[in-house]
Amino acid sequence: MMKIRALLFSSRGGLLLLPWAILIGLTFRASPYGLTEEGAKALLLAWSISDQVASAVFTLGAPDIRAILFLPLGLLWSGQVIAAKVLTLLTMAGAGVALYRWRRRDDQDEAALLATGLLLIAPLTVESINALSAAPFLLAICGAAAWLNQMLGSERGTFGGWFFAQLLLCAAAVSLHPAGLAYPAVLFFTWWTNPADQRHREYFLLGIPLVVLLVLAMRLGWPGMAWGQNPLPAAAAVFSGSRTESPLSTEDWLIGSTVLALTLAVALHERRRLVADLTGGTLLVGVVFGAAAADRTWGVLMLALLLYGGLPWLLRACAPLAGRGLVVQRGWLWLLLLLISTSFMRTHKSDYEAGRHNLFSAQDQLIRDFAEGVNSLRTGDRAGGQPAAPILVASSWPARTSIACKCDGLPLPPVAKDPDSQLAMMRGVSYLILADSTDNRALANNFAQLGPRVEVLSRQPGGVVLHFKPL
């Protein structure tokens, strides 16, 4: 009877997620813009392998675990970014189901339902799906952590599949983001202090550090990660949604500070309950570790911690109101949900309108200008009966640029001692997309001194597009 009820519940849950998945899918941008650099790199590598085409993507460094997950998409729908977004959407749905089942334990069904619903409709969550962010995959790992450990405890063999599944999940988490270090750290501590099976203890204590060090050595850490970012933009993005490079407004500062303060309060108050199992501990420690980068992927994890840790605390605190009528007991909750959902809905509407009118971030606008110029050049070559010349571009965002312009992208060269040496490094490179960043000022100064040998094709708030004239 219990199995039948569980099966019916799973079916209803799947049916409830279906309209959510359809609505989120309708908001996807078909254009190859708005992606994260690491997500684009993994997708490019999967396409190159499936098509057996030599590509400059192999010069961009080792990708994360998503390259393996995207590989079947390259075999079936090569060149289709939308297919990767659908896979990320399904991963987020699976993460929501896993986190809901974790939180509904100990008679917390109401908190689990509310937290999962708000997480799935949050603008930052929708943006992370559309951008091929690592956040849905990290949340899926968090949701599966406690279940995998439970399955391993019921396994009889020492080297069974669940043992290697957890080690594989450790490697996947570490490859995605610094916050992913939380899963192997919490897993190691669990097996050190309270192993589920004494026979597996030594293997875990040896295998976990080995896997983590191997992944970090293969990927050289997290290339391209910006460390020490201001956490307020990521916290404010919980309500503001789409990416923007504009300075934070007073409203954003207020929202970001409030979200950070609430998350800190939840983390301190609920820490003992959260670290009682692998899923809660991974989520809590992941937010702590991810704060070193404080990007939008970290923002999604912070939102999940706030919802899955804060709502149970809030409902427990209001338990004395039971028996005073439905309006007194839950009226405040309805009002809170109405305000949050209305704010989310307004942000979704503005994001959808921005997509309809092709409004891009400053970085994507720069990449788009270059891609349109390349496409015009190719059209002219075809009209003149000439084969399209291969285009090699060095970019601050090589993977995103390669997907947008369908050409080979390379990372930026190192800074040379003088302009002529800098130009010699660019042999074979026709174009360069340089982000407006303090890290690129020395590089920009070298190119600025080259005079007529370098042509500025586009200048945007996000940076410049340069063309190297043939000698």
Least confident of 124-128, 145-149, 282-286: 145-149
Residue 262 has pLDDT above 60, yes or no: yes
Q: Which residue has the higher pLDDT, 110 or 327?
A: 110
Residue 247 has pLDDT above 50, yes or no: yes
Q: Which residue has the higher pLDDT, 69 or 353?
A: 69
Least confident of 195-204, 261-270, 425-434: 195-204
Q: What is the spatial distance between Cα 441 and Cα 470, in angstroms, rounded to a whole number?
A: 24
Q: How confident is the model at residue 333 (pLDDT cuts 50, 70, 90)?
A: confident
Residue 9 has pLDDT above 60, yes or no: no
Q: Which residue has the higher pLDDT, 129 or 383?
A: 129
Q: What is the pLDDT of residue 100?
A: 92
Q: What is the pLDDT of residue 263?
A: 95
Nearest to 307 by CA among 133, 108, 146, 463: 108
CB 133 within 8 A of CB 293: no
Residues 6 or more apart from 400 whose CB is under 8 A from it? Answer: 32, 33, 35, 37, 40, 363, 364, 367
Q: What is the pLDDT of residue 281?
A: 93
The string of pLDDT tens digits covering residues 117-136 is 999 999 999 999 999 999 99
Q: Residue 456 forms beta bridges with which residues?
A: 466
Q: How confident is the model at residue 250 (pLDDT cuts 50, 70, 90)?
A: confident
- Please count the other Cβ atoms lying within 10 Å of the Cβ belonging to residue 454: 20
Q: What is the pLDDT of residue 79?
A: 84
Least confident of 46-60, 79-93, 175-189, 246-260: 46-60
Q: How confident is the model at residue 1 (pLDDT cuts 50, 70, 90)?
A: very low
Q: What is the pLDDT of residue 243?
A: 57
Residues 6 or more apart from 316 whose CB is under 8 A from it? Answer: none
The average confidence (pLDDT) of the chain is 85
Percentage of the chain lying above the pLDDT 90 cut:
36
Q: What is the pLDDT of residue 86?
A: 94
Q: What's the average model confidence in pLDDT over 416-439? A: 87
Highest mean pLDDT among 189-203, 272-286, 364-378: 272-286
What is the token pair recorded at 341?
Answer: 């959902």
Q: Where are the alpha helices (DSSP H) in 318-361?
A: 326-356
Q: What is the pLDDT of residue 290?
A: 94
Q: How confident is the model at residue 2 (pLDDT cuts 50, 70, 90)?
A: very low
Least confident of 75-89, 197-211, 399-413: 197-211
Q: What is the pLDDT of residue 120?
A: 94
Q: What is the spatial distance between Cα 44 and Cα 78, in angstroms, rounded to a whole number?
A: 10
Q: How confident is the model at residue 11 (pLDDT cuts 50, 70, 90)?
A: very low
